[in-house]
Chain A
Amino acid sequence: MSAGAPQNRVVLGALLRKELRVELRSFSAVPAMSLFSVTTFVLFHFALQRNALSDDLASGVLWVTLLFAAVLGINRLFVADAEQGGFDGFLLSPADRSVLLYSKALTLLAYLLVLELVAVPAFALLLLGPALWPALPGLLVVLALGDAGIVVIGTLVGALAVRTSVRDLLGPMISLPLLVPVLLCAARAGAPVLGAGGAGALPLRWLVTLALYDLVFGLITFAVFDFLLED
């Protein structure tokens, strides 16, 4: 950073405030994601003809729903910047470019946290057989690691797809295959926690695999993100 350039922390704060303000004014992502998740639970209820789910079925339904809802958020993540000159404004400023990556990643993480605040209780209420409270600590660990994976891949793919002519199609098409390992690990790790016979222990193998996947793709995203911002 050259002298006179703003500190990264200041820029990050400003960008996050901007994201919050944009979302609070437009409500373009989070309400849709939350509503979508609840609707999907209803769909699963009718499609599976089940009133209560447990074990791997519960874990799978929860994660597929979260993933699809997250894809909605990923699609919206960069739209305002691409359409209303946010990228240009940022690139004209002397700020470090990777700060945009951090701010977008944190924004997506915030989207996901709000989504889960709605989706997890709704899931417990509508579909989950076993009680939520005993399962909650384990579930929170899995959710945190799963969110990290969605955040690193979603931020990269969102930026990659947003300036194409068919971004609404390309976003999910590119992100879903990349997210399959996240879904796989998270669903397997969450299955014993949501067991019908009480919450089982977390399978460490899947948590470690998921954490490694998050780490690797975090590094990849960090390495290539700047190249998406050059014009």
Chain B
Amino acid sequence: MYGKRLRALALTTFAALTLTLVLAFFWAPNDANQGFLQKIFYLHVPLAIVTLCGFVYGGVAAIMHLRTRDSRWDMRSYVAIHLSLVFGVGVLVTGSIWAKGSWGVWWDWSEPTLVSFLLIMLLYATYQPLRFAIEDPERQARYASVFAITAGAFVPINFVIVRLSTAYLHPRVLGDISANLPGRFQVVFYLSLISIALLWITLWRYEMTSKHASAQLRALRRLLAGDEDDALPRRSAVPTLSVSVEGGRAGGTPGVGASR
């Protein structure tokens, strides 16, 4: 079940985020050039990394879905992309604020990381409309997986190409981080990366649990009301999970959702 140890995970995430914020504001030194503004770095960069990893994970889960035809993989892919879209808006907003603060403009086209991120967001913004526009749940899941794989591959390629196109302006945080950052910055940065990743995982698990619970509820309802009655499912962008009810006759093996 997805709900297992969710509370412990949520509490750990909360503690890690709190610790990160406290350390970022009170322990890490102010940047020599950017001063206090640089603190947004601890939020912006980990958010961006986690978002992109989430998109790529969505693609990997989609590959698994096409290989196994298990609707749970489609749900994993859907929730991952959905969450990363939400995180991605955060990345664009924090990036814009940082750009305004340090370069004086809200948006800078010569900034490859910002531009490629926007492109990726524009592409993924069509994921939910695509799902919503296909009524048949099985085909919706299949087409969405094809999209998720293509877009997941687009994420790294796009970064390389857009980066080639512009002068190197962005602070190179990845790669030469150890060369550029003094000790305290580094500690807080990695801590922040871990806690934002934990936040993503917690939210992902929460949504998976909720989706799984409502699928089970639907299955139970169908069981109580007899097999036929259930009103036709509404058109939706959300994947249809096929779950079995413990001890029920709804088909499938009991406890099919038990392994995480």
Q: What residues make up the interface of A, taking CB atoms closer than 8 Å to B?
A: 156, 160-161, 163-167, 169-170, 173-174, 177-178, 180-181, 184-185, 188, 205, 209, 213, 216-217, 220, 223-224, 227-228, 230-231
Total count of chain B residues near the partner, CB < 8 A: 30
* CB of B128, distance to nearest CB on chain A (Å): 11
Task: Please name all residues of chain B whose beta carbon is closer than 8 Å to the beta carbon of A160 when the two chains form the complex.
Answer: 130, 143, 146-147
Tell me the interface secondary structure of chain A in the complex: helix
Asked whether any CB of chain A lies closer than 8 Å to the CB of B238, the reply is no
A178 touches B165 (CB 8 A): no
Task: Please name all residues of chain B whose beta carbon is closer than 8 Å to the beta carbon of A224 when the two chains form the complex.
Answer: 66, 146, 149-150
**Considering residues A156, A177, A184, A223, which has the most beta carbons from chain B within 10 angstroms of its beta carbon?**
A177
Q: How far is the CA of A164 from the CA of B164 in the complex (A)?
A: 35
* CB of A200, distance to nearest CB on chain B (Å): 18
| 16 pairs from A and B in contact (CB 8 Å cutoff) | A160-B130, A160-B146, A161-B130, A166-B133, A174-B123, A174-B130, A178-B150, A180-B158, A185-B161, A205-B164, A220-B150, A224-B66, A227-B142, A227-B146, A231-B136, A231-B138
B119 touches A180 (CB 8 A): yes
Q: A216-B157, A220-B153, A228-B143 are contacts. A174–B126 as well, Cβ < 8 Å?
A: yes
| Identity of the chain A residue whose Cβ is nearest the Cβ of B150 in the assembled complex | A220
* CB of B123, distance to nearest CB on chain A (Å): 4
A177 touches B165 (CB 8 A): no
Asked whether any CB of chain A lies closer than 8 Å to the CB of B135, the reply is yes
A163 touches B149 (CB 8 A): no
* CB of A190, distance to nearest CB on chain B (Å): 14
B129 touches A170 (CB 8 A): yes
Q: How many pairs of A and B residues are in contact by the CB < 8 Å rule?
A: 80
For the complex of A and B, list the 5 residue pairs with the smallest distance between their C-beta atoms, beginning with the closest: A164-B133, A177-B123, A181-B161, A177-B122, A173-B126
**Considering residues B129, B135, B162, which has the most beta carbons from chain A within 10 angstroms of its beta carbon?**
B129
B139 touches A231 (CB 8 A): yes
B161 touches A164 (CB 8 A): no
Task: Please name all residues of chain B whose beta carbon is closer than 8 Å to the beta carbon of A217 when the two chains form the complex.
Answer: 150, 153
Q: How far is the CA of A163 from the CA of B146 in the complex (A)?
A: 14
Task: Please name all residues of chain A whose beta carbon is closer than 8 Å to the beta carbon of B158 when the two chains form the complex.
Answer: 180-181
Task: Please name all residues of chain B whose beta carbon is closer than 8 Å to the beta carbon of A181 when the two chains form the complex.
Answer: 157-158, 161-162
* CB of A111, distance to nearest CB on chain B (Å): 21
Q: How far is the CA of A178 from the CA of B152 in the complex (A)?
A: 11
Q: How far is the CA of A165 from the CA of B158 in the complex (A)?
A: 29
B149 touches A220 (CB 8 A): yes
* CB of A146, distance to nearest CB on chain B (Å): 14
- Which positions 161-220 of chain B face chain A at CB distance < 8 Å? 161-162, 164-165
* CB of A185, distance to nearest CB on chain B (Å): 7
Q: How far is the CA of A213 from the CA of B125 in the complex (A)?
A: 22
Task: Please name all residues of chain B whose beta carbon is closer than 8 Å to the beta carbon of A231 when the two chains form the complex.
Answer: 136, 138-139
B147 touches A174 (CB 8 A): yes
Task: Please name all residues of chain B whose beta carbon is closer than 8 Å to the beta carbon of A184 when the two chains form the complex.
Answer: 161-162, 165
Asked whether any CB of chain A lies closer than 8 Å to the CB of B16, the reply is no
Task: Please name all residues of chain B whose beta carbon is closer than 8 Å to the beta carbon of A227 when the two chains form the complex.
Answer: 66, 142, 145-146
Task: Please name all residues of chain A whose beta carbon is closer than 8 Å to the beta carbon of B150 when the two chains form the complex.
Answer: 156, 178, 217, 220, 224
* CB of B81, distance to nearest CB on chain A (Å): 14
* Extra 16 A-B pairs, beta carbons < 8 Å, given A181-B161, A224-B146, A227-B145: A163-B134, A163-B143, A164-B130, A166-B133, A170-B130, A174-B123, A174-B126, A177-B120, A180-B119, A184-B161, A209-B161, A217-B153, A227-B66, A227-B142, A228-B142, A230-B142
Asked whether any CB of chain A lies closer than 8 Å to the CB of B154, the reply is yes
| Identity of the chain A residue whose Cβ is nearest the Cβ of B148 in the assembled complex | A224
* CB of A60, distance to nearest CB on chain B (Å): 13
Task: Please name all residues of chain A whose beta carbon is closer than 8 Å to the beta carbon of B123 when the two chains form the complex.
Answer: 174, 177-178
Task: Please name all residues of chain A whose beta carbon is closer than 8 Å to the beta carbon of B125 when the two chains form the complex.
Answer: 173
B135 touches A165 (CB 8 A): yes
A213 touches B133 (CB 8 A): no
**Considering residues B119, B126, B162, B165, which has the most beta carbons from chain A within 10 angstroms of its beta carbon?**
B126
Contact residue among A169, A216, A230 (Cβ-Cβ distance under 8 Å from B153): A216
B129 touches A178 (CB 8 A): no
Q: How far is the CA of A217 from the CA of B156 in the complex (A)?
A: 13
Q: How far is the CA of A188 from the CA of B139 in the complex (A)?
A: 39
| Identity of the chain A residue whose Cβ is nearest the Cβ of B147 in the assembled complex | A160
